Amino acid sequence: MNRVLPILTVLGVICVLWYAAAVWMNSTWTLAQAERAGVEMTFSEIVADTMQQERPKLPLPHQVAAELKKTVIDKKVTSKRSLVFHGWITLKSTLMGFTLGTFMGILMAVGIVYSRTINMSLMPWAIISQTIPIVAIAPMIIVVLSSIGVEERAVPKAIISAYLCYFPVLVGMVAGLRSPDAMQLDLLRTYGTSGWATFWKLRFPSSMPYLFTSLKIGIAAALVGAIIGELPTGAIRGLGARILIGDQFGQPIMIWSALIAAACLAGALVTVVAALQVLTLRRMGFAR
For residue 215, which of 261, 157, 152, 276 has the smallest C-alpha distance? 276
Q: Does 236 bind another protein (CB under 8 A)?
A: no
- By the rule CB under 8 A, 148 interacts with another protein: yes
Among candidate residues 87, 13, 49, the one with its CA nearest the CA of residue 242: 87
The answer to whether residue 196 forms part of the interface with another protein (CB under 8 A) is no
Q: What is the dihedral of CA 238, 242, 243, 247, to 10 degrees?
A: 150
Segment 254 to 273, residues that bind another protein, using CB under 8 A: 255-256, 258-259, 262-263, 266-267, 270
**CA torsion angle 122 127 133 134 (round to 10):** 40
Residue 281: closest CA among 222, 214, 209, 216 = 209
Residue 150 interacting with another protein (CB under 8 A): no
Taking the alpha carbons at both ends of the chain, their separation in whole angstroms is 22
Query: What is the SS3 assignment for 9?
Result: helix
> In whole angstroms, how close is the CB of 232 to another protein at the nearest point?
4
User: Does 119 interact with another protein (rule: CB under 8 A)?
Assistant: yes
What x-and-dash track marks residues 92-111 binding another protein by CB under 8 A? --------------------
Q: Segment 36-95, which members bind another protein (CB under 8 A)?
A: 57
The stretch among 132-140, 168-176, 203-211, 276-284 that binds another protein (CB under 8 A) is 132-140
Q: Does 112 bind another protein (CB under 8 A)?
A: no
Where on the phi/psi map is residue 38: left (φ > 0), alpha (ψ -120 to 50), or beta?
Answer: left
**Is 130 a residue that touches another protein (CB under 8 A)?**
yes
Taking the least distance from each CB to another protein, the nearer of 202 and 277 is 277
> 89: which residues sit within 8 A by CB, 6+ positions away?
154, 237, 238, 239, 241
Binding site for another protein (CB under 8 A): 2-3, 5-11, 14, 25, 57, 116-117, 119-125, 128, 130-137, 139-140, 143-144, 147-148, 217, 220, 223-224, 227-228, 231-232, 239-240, 243-244, 246-247, 252, 255-256, 258-259, 262-263, 266-267, 270
